[in-house]
Every structure is written in structure tokens, then in C-alpha cells.
Amino acid sequence: MDLFDDPRIREVVGRKSAQWAWTEAVLNDVGKRIDIDPCAMAIMFPSAKAAKKFARTKLQPMIRAMPRLSAKVDLSGSRKSGNTWDHYEFPGGFLDLISSRVITDVKTVPYKRVYVEEPADAEENVGKQGNSIGLLRERLKTFADGKLIIGGTPAVKGLCPVSAEHDKTDQREFEVPCHHCGEAHVLSFEHLRCDEDPSRFHPVYGHRLPETAYYACPHCGGVWTDHDKNANVRRAEDAGFGWTRGTANAEVVGVSGNELINPFPGSRFARLMEKWLAAEHKAGQGQPEDLIVFVNSNMGQPYEYRSRAPGEELLRQRAESYAENTVPAPGLVLVAGVDVQHDRFAVILRAYGRGEESWLVSWEELAGNPLDKNDPSWEALEAKVFGAYRHESGAAIHARAASIDSSDGAMTDLVYDWVRRMRKKYPGCNTMAIKGQSGTGAPREIFAVSTKRLDHAKPTKAAKHGIKLFIVGTERAKDTLIGDDGWLTLCDSPERTGRGAGRFHVFDGVRADYYKQLLSEVKAPHRSIRNRKVWQLKAGQRNEALDAEVYALHAARSLRTNAMLPDRWDQLERQLVQGDLFQVDQAEPKPAAVVADKQQSLADLARQMNT
């Protein structure tokens, strides 16, 4: 509450365990504003249902119980008062209770003070216009002394908005002194212990006795009882400890803590130990749900799903010394994946070889205004996708398949038109308009064809004359690329990926953000999907490189790289070497006329060889 009052601070973020009295602090601050510092305020909840429950069980009872507040906020329900369950007026200001799922709630009214309750459950893309917390933050710009107060329990690591916000703060913690040695530390569950009895066995606790739980000082090993711990917490600030100071003059302040600091009966050591052991027991049986709850709600930490996929640093160490825009000798099929944004194209070029071993050829973003069909970025995309690239054998190699995202409604018709023109201009490349699909109804395979045909350029023509829309099984594709048993996990040594089927190669000069974007998603339960993990974007990260890799894999599967027999790979290798007789300039796209000329020349050569 001192931080809420500090005029130098513009944001306060609390990442905490459950039942930490945070909401009580918010209520106290709201009451103070109504009474002596009125202004425009809003409290955002994950849903309207949560807002209504807060109004009924916390806000309205507080107003009724305090004469100074009830004299200023009319809760009679009369029309004259202008007050409803989600809007409260008082002299000099008002308070709105808003939902993260309603775009007009988070975009319309300017506020001087905004509170966000349980941000882990807030809408990630409200009205397809962005993150609800980010949109609400914009409402504070009108006021020089506007303040944002965010508090909640964390969720899955990487997917947790409160953790993402807390990471931007000075991250203050509460230090508690030991009554034995006088040294202070931040309370941690790693120091919560209990006795064991080899002669006793419990089906859940084993030989451990949770009723004997105690806390051990990490400095001297002294034993704390619940009474000792509560007394130590109470005297922390008087002893010169308590909240760490953080960064001097910080405008964005963060606080965090776990349930060990609580004095409540339900937070006694024995009770916490029972819950912890029971959660770990179920997790050992393949049911981690209770352990997730314990880590989030009791430990106050984000739960981390362990993955076998390597991290960014290891991937960097495994990068190989071949040049960008050059295809290593074993790469025989070049494909492209294109992710479309309103201000750029994100393009992956990847070469596939036997056993779907693959090599990154290029990762690039082409800036521009793709919303304008005449913007130069469309020409740059054409040159990038259909240009000639140098093969290690000396031959020129061109993309045989390209998949471009058409799922953005504002870009759909532009993408269809571009695909239609490119298919006609470059018949040697299988250019496809695609749409990713996950969840219920998603295809089991990475490559699937929709029965629907499209021709938005000529809507009066029969549908059969239009282009096809191809569906990408994105869940399966991401499992294949970055999943626990995906291609990234294949490694002969920590330094190199080695050679073999499914090996995923990257050149060592790749742009720095490639690895972060490639690992930008985590597979975890989603609050709206039961009994199944799904791939989800980590908070505050971009994933264009991952999406483009998925689309490149889709393009490769359209050529059946996963089912090619050795004879077919041998044939592709011979064709590639023969194609060196008819090189085209690397900087120029390969037009249909060149394709036809090369095909005719090869046909003439074949006839001469046969003769």
C-alpha cells in the first residue's frame, strides 16, 4: 500500500501466492481514492462473472460498512444515483469494474488509476486487437500521474502475463531475520522439512511425517515453528529487513512472495507439507495438475513444463559454418514458408534431403506495407521466394514449393491474388495459399487439402476454377519440429546436430532473433481446453520464425519428402547436376519462359543422349 501511494511509481506488479491479502490492499486503495483523493478508476477482471462476484462480496460490503464511503457512493439502486453493479460514481470521480473480454471496456475510457486482478486469466487478444493489459495501459496516458497496479498468482512459465510483467520490474522481495542467528533471507520452500520414520509407510507420504514439518534457517540450521516464523515476519522491518530496496528511483516496481509468509491457519507448515507431498505423489503417477496448482498458488512461482528440446544457447552452439543463401550438397529440395504481417513478410527458405534432413538457407523479414497490393514488398517477396540460389555442387537451385499464410482476414484476398499470379508465372513451383488449424477438427497430418476452392478475383466463375486452400496441421508440425521427440532433440553431440534423418541444420550467421522465435511456444494445458496440451505463444514473444518454419515444412510435405524412396532422391540429385548446364543469374527470379526453355533444352539433350 505504501508503493500504491508513492507518486514516483507509475506501475506496481505483484506476483504472489494465493490468499496473500493483495485484493484487500486494492480495496483499501480504492476506498482511500473515493474518500480523499477522487479520480477516474477501473478494476479489470478476467470476466464479467468475476467482476460481479467482486462487487457483491467485497466492494459493496466495504462501502456499506464504512460511513465515510457510504455517504459518497449511493448503493440504493435508484436511477438517480447513476450507479450500477459495474459503475460507481462519487464526488470528483468514478470506479468501473470491467472485463478483459470486452473490447469497449479496455479501449474507451481514460483512467488515472487502473488495477488488474488475476492477469494470468486475462484475455490475450481481446476483439483481435491485442492483449487486454496492453490496451488498458494505453488508457492511462491522459494523466501525468496515472498508475497501473497488477497483481495475481502466476501460471505456466512462459505463458504467464504476471510473470512477464514482473520480469520488467526491480523485483523486490521480503527478507525475514532468524531469531537464532539474526541473519535474514527470503522464505523459500526448499527450507521446509519434515521428519521421516523408516518403520512407518503411508501410501501418499511414504516414510515422511508431514505433521512434524518445520522450517530450517539456511544460515545456521536453526529450527523454526509456525509461531517462530510469524514472529520473525512481524519484526522483520523493525530489525532493518523486510522489503528489499530494489532499483533506486524505479518507476516500475515489483514485489513477490509465497505462502510461507502468511500467518493464516491454512498456511501452517504441516498443512503445506501435506499438500506438497500429495501433489508430488500424483505428479509421479502422471497427473501433474495438483503440483501445478501448488507451485502457482502456494509457492507463488510459474510452473515450468520440462521439454527435451534444446535451449537457445545450445542451438547457437550447434550452428554450422555454411553460408546464408547457399544450399549444402545433401539439400536437394528447396522450399519456402511465408508468414504474412501487416508491415512485413517473414520468409524461411529451407532445403530438404534424404530422410527429411534439412538445412536453413535463409531467414529474413521483408519490411513494407503488404496491405497495398502495389507495395514494393510484394515484388521483394517474389524475388526472395522464386530467385535462384547457389547449390554447393555449383548448380542453381530454385524453390519447388512455397506455402504462404492467408489466414489474416485483411490480407486474405491479396494473398489469393498473389498465389494465383505466381502459379501462372512460375509453374515449376507449387505455390499454395495456406491456413493453419489446431485444436478440435484439426487435420492429423501436416499437409491437408481443403475441398473448398476460391477465386475472389472472379467471383462469378464456377468455384472449380479457383485456387485451392491448403490446411496446415500446425499442432502436428510443431510436435515434429520442436516437440519432446521432435527434430530439434536429435543431436549427436552438444556442439553439432550431426547427420541423419530429421537432423535440423542452421547456419552460424543466422539473425540473432531466430532461435528465440523458434522456441517461442510451449506445449501446456489451456484454460479453455480440457485434458489436452496445446502449443501456446509465450508471453511477450514473437513467433514469426516458428510459423514460417511450419509453413516450409508444409511445403516440403506437399512434395512428399517424408515418403520419397531412395531412387527418387537419386533422380533429384541427377536433375540438379544437369540443371547446372542452364544457370540463371542468382539475383533474378526464374520466369515461366526460362522454365519452358530449360525443360525443352533438357528434353533435346535427353533425345540426343538416347540416339
CB atoms within 10 A of CB 484: 13
pLDDT of residue 461: 47
DSSP 132: H
- Classify strands 358-367 and 504-505 as parallel, antiparallel or unpaired: parallel
Q: For cell 521428519, what's the residue?
A: 195
Q: Is 182 exposed, middle or buried (0-12, 13-18, 19+ CB in 10 A)?
A: exposed
> What single string gives the DSSP state of each residue in 59-91?
IHHHHHH-HHHHTTS--S--GGGT-BTTEEEET
How many Cβ atoms from other residues are within 10 Å of residue 223's Cβ?
Answer: 12
**188 Cβ partners below 8 Å, 6+ apart?**
218, 258, 260
Helix, strand and coil percent figures for the chain, each rounded to 5: 35, 25, 40
Q: How far apart are CA 549 and CA 600, in angstroms?
A: 34
pLDDT at residue 397, rounded to an integer: 95
Residue 79 half-sphere exposure, CB side, CA atoms within 13 Å?
0
Task: Pull the grid cell for residue 250.
Answer: 524505479
The structural domains of the chain, with segments of one domain joined by +, span: 2-166, 174-243+258-298, 320-511+551-579
CB burial of 136-161 (b: ≥16 within 10 Å; e: otherwise) equals bbebbeeeeebbbbbbbbbbbbbbbb
- Bridge partners for 336 per DSSP: 349, 402
Contact 382, 365 (CB under 8 A): no
Do residues 438 and 420 touch, judged by C-beta distance below 8 A? Answer: no
Residue 240: CB atoms within 10 Å = 9
Instruction: Kindly state the cell numbers that stand for 303.
Output: 510452473
DSSP E strand stretches across 144-201? 147-152, 174-177, 184-186, 192-196
Q: What's the CATH code, domain 2-166?
A: 3.40.50.300
pLDDT value of position 593: 42
Reported as a single tens digit per residue, the pLDDT across 230-251 is: 999 999 999 999 999 877 778 9
Question: Whole-model pTM?
Answer: 0.73
- The partner residues of 436 in beta bridges, in order of sequence, read 472
pLDDT at 402: 97
Block means of pLDDT (10 residues each) for the chain, length 611 residues? 92 92 94 96 93 96 96 88 91 94 83 91 75 86 92 87 90 96 97 95 94 97 97 96 83 94 94 96 88 93 83 90 95 97 95 96 96 95 96 94 92 93 94 83 74 56 64 92 90 70 94 93 74 80 94 96 94 79 41 46 52 49
What tens digit of pLDDT does each residue of 427-455 get?
999 999 999 877 666 677 899 766 566 65
Task: Tell me if 277 sits within 8 A of 205, measured CB to CB.
Answer: yes
Give the pLDDT confidence score for residue 375 in this predicted structure.
Answer: 95
